[in-house]
Amino acid sequence: MTETSEQQSCREKPRVINIGLSFFHESLVAQKVKAIQLEWRPPVRQSAEIKSLLDDLL
Amino acid sequence: MEIREKINAANEKALSCIVESDPVWVDILPAGQVVDGLEDHMILHSGPPIAYENMCMLHKRGMISGVLFEGWAETEEEAVALIQSGGIRMDSALNHNTVGAGTGIITKSVAMIVVEDHTNGTRAATFPAEGPFQGGFCGWGLYSPEIAENLRHMREDLFPVIREMIQRRGGLPLKPILAESMQMGDENHTRQTAADLLFLKQIVLDILKTDVSKEKIFAAMEYIVNTPRFFHCFGQGAARSALLAASGVPYSTMVTAVCGNALEFGIKVAGLGDRWFTAPAPMMKGRYTSSQYTEKDQLPWIGDSCVVECYGMGGLAAAASPIVCNLRGLKLKDAIAQTREMGEICIGKNHNFAIPNLDFEFLPAGIDIRKVLKTGIEPEIHGGMFNHDGGLIGAGSARVPMLCFEKALKAFAETYPE
């Protein structure tokens, strides 16, 4: 029987890209899991008026 | 020239008021002689302007203390009646060339440290801490026979000696002290441990040269040495004098003031002059001085000392002072991350402040309201926590509310409709 990719990934050591909260990245590193942290924050919510002003002024 | 180019040029000019500033301590004078527009029967306070009936208890008490200190009334009841009858004019300290740290109670007879910016040609005055009473009258709005006697002692016994010293030496440049102390663990808002020592080293020989008795010299030195964070008022004076120069630069979107009155938090913007943009005052997060305190004891943000943040100190300089950040449980990498995050909302960097923890990168300076709104990053500022009865109960940080910046940007667009 052919092994699925899911089964294969469960057998291998995980390699993680963590996006957002750095606490998860730190916890994985502490457990000697290979992980990198991607700096990311949710898109900024602006009103249409502020967005339009920023388009003009910045 | 397109408006973006005008703004960018104006912001470079406003930022240069900070970076090229040359603040020098030159004198000690009564507030009535050095604070522009401070008249008789007038009391200044911290934060954006606020009516007496809306003030928190600390500010109300400070107003009464101010009336009693100046002798405009004999009793508290008379003081309240005078205030309620409209006999006292009240204004925000940051509408003048001063800073209202804590409650920021300033009347004409308060002795003020005078700082001149020799590059910008501006002058600011800030009140020194009150020795054993720490915040005392000006910072905490307290008044008692003991505080009154200490203020007299400072004015009549200590300051003449210190004044003779500073005049004899021809002023004391403050930027070298700020710059070196930033490399020694201070962020010069919550912590001045290194600055205090560097300051002392600068003045100790000059004060010994003054033509007064050994006892008077000892008393003056004892006051300086035993007052915690003595240098704080000098840092505020340095920041305020530079920001006064930036205030009024047309088209600039740089923040020139941030402050709170426990009800509202307010900012000013260079290109919008003396207008205020306010939002509800935030609560600070940090560490209390005692486990008996909780958030219920704590006032929302009160005080103007965060004017130093606009100069690039305090929260913007977190990387310089992991010790201060550790009050909030942060590690060195978090302190560095905080400064880097603040860099995203600043106009540029201050080449005077090269920080070892940043591998001698320069600190960011000049908060730009456009970048705050674009990135969604609210400035993180450091400060002291006050309780409802007066007095410091902790230290920490808060984020300047986004609403202040939204209001400011809308006003900017109306002021410069291009």
Q: Per-domain residue ranges for chain B?
A: 235-415
Interface contact A53, partner B, CB < 8 A: yes
Q: In the 8-state DSSP scheme, what is residue B368?
A: B
List Cβ neighbours of B203 (8 Å cut-off, separation of 6 or more): B165, B166, B169, B172, B224
Interface contact A21, partner B, CB < 8 A: no
Query: Quick one: tokens of B294?
Result: 């909780």
CA atoms within 13 A on the CB side of B50: 28
pLDDT at B64 over 90: yes
pTM for the full predicted model: 0.93
CATH topology of domain B235-415: v583 fold (3.90.1700)
Q: pLDDT tens across B267-288, in order?
A: 999 999 999 999 999 999 999 9
Q: Which of A50, A56, A58 is the closest to B406 by Cβ?
A: A50
pLDDT at B225 over 80: yes
- ipTM value for the complex: 0.89
Query: Quick one: tokens of B137?
Result: 């009258």
- The predicted pLDDT at position B23 comes to 98
- The predicted pLDDT at position B368 comes to 98
- Mark out the alpha helices in B37-185 (DSSP H runs): 57-70, 76-84, 136-140, 145-153, 159-169, 175-182
C-alpha to C-alpha distance for B102 and B47, rounded to whole angstroms? 9
For residues B380-386, average pLDDT: 95
Chain-chain contact of B376 with A41 (C-beta, under 8 angstroms): yes
For residues B353-367, average pLDDT: 98
| Contacts B375 to A, Cβ<8 Å | 44
For residues B235-240, average pLDDT: 98
Chain-chain contact of A50 with B409 (C-beta, under 8 angstroms): yes
Nearest CA in chain A to B3: A57
Chain-chain contact of B409 with A41 (C-beta, under 8 angstroms): no
Q: pLDDT tens across A1-55, in order?
A: 678 888 887 888 888 999 988 889 999 999 999 999 998 888 898 999 999 999 9
Interface contact A39, partner B, CB < 8 A: no
List Cβ neighbours of B270 (8 Å cut-off, separation of 6 or more): B10, B14, B246, B247, B248, B249, B252, B253, B254, B255, B256
Query: pLDDT over 90 for what percent of chain B?
Result: 93
pLDDT at B330 over 90: yes
Chain-chain contact of B3 with A47 (C-beta, under 8 angstroms): no
| Contacts B409 to A, Cβ<8 Å | 50, 53-54, 57
Quote the Cα angle for B366-B372-B374, to 5°: 130
Among B73-77, B123-127, B130-134, the least confident range: B130-134
- The predicted pLDDT at position B327 comes to 87
Angstroms from B370 CA to nearest CA on chain A: 7
